[in-house]
Structure formats: structure tokens, C-alpha cells
């Protein structure tokens, strides 16, 4: 008669070896990649279990980097952007290197500084189909691209749309020096178009994310 395997025991937490950080279900972690030349994988811990041999294993939900998705990295993807996938897995807890924080998109734009362990997520990703949720996001500028929080943008004081300096024939240095800015649709005066208030340029700006006028949806 075959022996019955003892049931697995759920744990509330465990401690990462070497750095003594405590991991609980719901935490985001950095996991050792198969290729040492690649950055660590990012995952969300769903459950922590131990078996009869006291081996700790974690059920995780993987985050994908843009370059790991079927569509690849695009211009509007931030350097620290991740997609929360529907890809679940079970891994040894020994493969966890450190903890990290995956912010909401809005909270990430409020950070005064971005640390190595800071990431953000605004999309969920279906790894089998390559689809995203949501499949539509607000777009900005003449190029009609979603917002990349790493990019400098300037706000039109007339329509409250945001523009990349390059899309309005301006250098980033010129954009930072301006006192007022009106886009070509909001002012017939070329001299006025070239000026804007310096308080309205930002890389990480809450007003940038929450500006509602003149937003357009792009499929």
C-alpha cells in the first residue's frame, strides 16, 4: 500500500536568507533568474507552504517586463514598468533574493525619487494571448501616445494637453526655461506658443496623470 504524503502546511511568513527580510503573502519579491546576466524576475507571493522536509515553497504570480511580452517594449513603457500576468507558478523560497515594491501607476508618479526596488504596474497581461487589461488608456501630445513617467512633458495652458518637447520642435532645456506655453491649436500667436510656465513641466506629476481635459482614447 502506497504511503500517504503528509499534507503541506501553510506559513504566515518566512525570512529571506542572508538579508533577514520577512516575506508574507501579498508581498512582491525579486527572484533569481536562470541566466545570471539577466535582471531578477519580479513576482507577487500568493501563498507560502512547507512540506515534511521543511522545504519552503511559494506560490507566485509573475510580473512581466515589457520586453518579455508578446508585443515587446514600446516607446511609452517606463523603465520600471511591469505587467501583472495571469501566469502562476510554484518556486523554492530559496530563489527569492529580496523584496521590492510594485506601485500603482498613480502612486509611482508621486515618488520624489525612484529606488532600485521601486516598480509600477498599470496593466494586467494575459501571457497566453498577449492581451492587456485595460486595453485602452489615455493618450497625449501630437503623437497620441500614452504617458511615460520617465519622459519630460509640458502642459498647454489652453487645453491642458501635454506635449513632448521634441513633438513641438523644442529641446528639453528650452522647455524647462519657458514661462508659458500654448499649443498651436490654442493660440494663433507664434510668440505665445513658445512660452509656458515652468511650474507646468514635470516627469512625475500628479496633475499630469489627473488632467482630464483634452484626453483622447486610443485603441
Query: What is the length of the chain?
Result: 219
Secondary structure (H, E, C), the chain: CCCCCCCCEECCEEECCCCCCEEECCCEEEECCCCCCCCCEEEEEEEEEECCCCCEEEEEEEEECHHHCCCCCCCCCCCCEEEEEEEEEEEEHHHEEEEEEEEEHHHHHCCCCCCCCEEEEEEEECCCCCCEECCCEEEECCCCECCCCCCCEEECCCCCCEECHHHHCCCHHHHHHCCCCCCCCCCCCHHHHCCCCHHHEECCCHHHHHCCCCCEEEC
* pLDDT confidence bin for 193, thresholds 50/70/90: very low
Question: Reduced to 3 states, what is the DSSP secondary structure of residue 145?
Answer: strand
pLDDT tens-digit map of 84-103: 999 999 999 999 999 999 99
pLDDT tens-digit map of 33-57: 988 889 999 999 999 999 878 899 9
* pLDDT confidence bin for 216, thresholds 50/70/90: very low
* pLDDT confidence bin for 200, thresholds 50/70/90: low
Confidence at residue 118, expressed as pLDDT on a 0 to 100 scale: 98
pLDDT higher than 70, residue 181: yes
Share the mean pLDDT of the chain: 85
pLDDT higher than 70, residue 60: yes
pLDDT tens-digit map of 119-156: 999 999 999 999 999 988 899 999 999 999 999 999 99
The mean pLDDT value for 194-206 works out to 46
pLDDT tens-digit map of 69-80: 999 999 999 999
Query: Over pLDDT 90: what percentage of the chain?
Result: 65
pLDDT higher than 80, residue 213: no
Confidence at residue 15, expressed as pLDDT on a 0 to 100 scale: 95
Ordered domains of the chain (ranges, CATH) = 9-133 (2.30.30.490), 137-218 (3.30.40.10)
Confidence at residue 178, expressed as pLDDT on a 0 to 100 scale: 83
Gap between the Cα atoms of 25 and 17, Å rounded: 17
Amino acid at each position: 500500500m502506497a504511503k500517504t504524503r503528509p499534507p503541506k502546511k501553510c506559513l504566515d511568513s518566512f525570512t529571506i536568507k542572508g538579508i533577514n527580510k520577512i516575506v508574507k503573502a501579498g508581498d512582491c519579491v525579486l527572484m533569481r533568474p536562470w541566466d545570471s546576466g539577466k535582471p531578477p524576475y519580479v513576482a507577487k507571493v500568493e501563498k507560502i507552504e512547507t512540506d515534511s522536509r521543511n522545504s519552503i515553497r511559494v506560490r507566485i504570480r509573475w510580473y512581466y517586463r515589457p520586453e518579455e511580452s508578446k508585443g515587446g517594449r514600446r516607446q511609452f513603457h517606463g523603465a520600471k514598468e511591469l505587467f501583472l500576468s495571469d501566469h502562476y507558478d510554484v518556486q523554492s523560497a530559496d530563489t527569492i533574493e529580496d523584496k521590492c515594491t510594485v506601485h500603482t501607476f498613480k502612486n509611482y508618479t508621486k515618488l520624489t525619487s525612484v529606488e532600485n526596488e521601486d516598480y509600477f504596474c498599470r496593466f494586467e497581461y494575459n501571457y497566453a494571448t498577449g492581451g492587456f487589461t485595460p486595453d485602452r488608456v489615455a493618450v497625449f501630445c501630437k503623437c497620441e501616445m500614452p504617458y511615460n513617467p520617465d519622459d519630460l512633458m509640458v502642459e498647454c495652458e489652453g487645453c491642458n494637453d501635454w506635449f513632448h518637447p521634441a513633438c513641438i520642435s523644442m529641446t528639453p532645456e528650452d522647455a524647462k526655461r519657458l514661462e508659458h506655453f500654448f499649443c498651436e491649436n490654442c493660440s494663433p500667436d507664434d510668440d505665445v506658443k513658445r512660452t509656458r510656465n515652468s511650474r507646468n513641466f514635470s516627469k512625475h506629476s500628479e496633475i499630469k496623470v489627473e488632467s482630464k481635459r483634452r484626453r483622447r482614447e486610443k485603441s
